[in-house]
Amino acid sequence: MNQSHFLQGIFKPENFNPEELELILRQFDEVEFGKNEYLIEKGKVANYYYFLETGFLRSYTIDTERNDITTKFFSQNDIVIDWHSYFLKKPCKESIQAVTKGKCWKISFNDFMKLFSIEAFREVGRTRLVNNYFELKNHSISVIADQAKDRYLNLIAEKPSIVQNVPLKHIATFLGITDTSLSRIRKEITL
C-alpha cells in the first residue's frame, strides 16, 4: 500500500482540497519496524505521532512489583502516540513496543503544528483524541467493574485481531488478570 493510498484512508480526500491534502501527505515519513522494537521509550520525550498501517504494538509500564503491565494495544489505522509527552514535551511514563513487525507513518511535532492551520485537519485530530479518551476511560472502568470473562469477551468482540496476534501474557496484563486466569477463561469459552 503506498503512502497516498493509506494516508488518504485516514485523511479522506473529500474532506480536504487538493493543496491541503498534498501538504498533509508531504509531512509524513514511512517507518518500518521489527518485532520488539520501540517506537516510544519510557523516560524519553515522544517526538513523533504515528499512524499504524500494518502490525501490532502495545504500550506498557512496569508496576511497583516490577511486573510488565500492558496498558493499550495498537492495530491497523490506530494512532500510536503518548499524548502527554508529544504535546507537553514531558518524558514518557510508558513504552510503546512492537509485538510484530509492521509499518507506520510518522509526523514530527513541528510538522504536525504546521497542519493545524487546516480546519479539517484539526477536526480529524480532535475526533481521534476524544475517541482515544473514551476508549481509555471505558477500559479503566471495565477493569474495575466488569468480570474478567466479560472483559475478555469484549476484547474479542471489539478487537479480534489483537487476540489472534498478541501473546496471551500481554492480553492477561491488559485485562488485569493472571495468565492462569486467562487460560481458564479461554477453556470455559471453548467448552
- Cα gap 114→142, rounded to integer Å: 38
- DSSP type of residue 48: E
In DSSP terms, 163 is beta-bridged to none
Q: What pLDDT does 124 receive?
A: 82
Q: What are the chain's domains?
A: 3-117 (2.60.120.10)
- For residue 86, give the C-alpha cell: 508529544
Collect all residues with Cβ–Cβ distance below 8 Å to 117 and sequence separation of at least 6.
none
**104-141: per-residue pLDDT in tens?**
999 999 999 989 889 888 888 888 888 888 888 888 88
In DSSP terms, 91 is beta-bridged to 45
The angle, 0 to 180 degrees and rounded to 10, between the axes of the packed helices 179-190 and 168-175 is 100
